[in-house]
Amino acid sequence: MNIKAITFDLDDTLWPLMPVILKAEKDTNKWLVENYPGIENLLKSEEVKEIRDSLISQENKLNYQLSKLRELTLVEL
C-alpha cells in the first residue's frame, strides 16, 4: 500500500479535537510532576497562561503549534 496523502482534522470536522488536546496537556503535566516534583505549583499558576499568551502575541503561529507552544512555555517557566 502506497500512502498518497495524510490529512489532519484540526477543526472538529471529523472528530472533537479538544478532548485530545486536554488529555495531552494532562498527560504531559502528570509526567512533569512525577519527574520534577517542584514544578507542580508552577503548572497550576496563572503564570503559565500569561507566558502562553505572551508567546502567542509574539508569534501568532504558535496558536496552532501546540507542542511547540508547550515546549517554549516550559522553557520560560
Question: Is there a domain that residue 4 lies in?
Answer: no
Residue 11 lies in a domain: no
pLDDT of residue 73: 94
Q: What is the DSSP string of 41-60?
A: HHHTSHHHHHHHHHHHHH-G
How much is the average pLDDT of 25-50? 90
Question: What's the pLDDT score for residue 1?
Answer: 77
Decide if 47 contacts 76 (C-beta within 8 A). no
Full residue range of the structural domain in which residue 60 is found = 18-76
Q: Is residue 68 scored above 90 in pLDDT?
A: yes
The pLDDT value recorded for residue 69 is: 94
Looking at the structure of the chain, the number of domains it has is 1
Supply the pTM of this predicted model. 0.70
Mean per-residue pLDDT, 24-45:
90
35 versus 66: which is more confidently predicted?
Answer: 35
Residue 13 domain-assigned? no
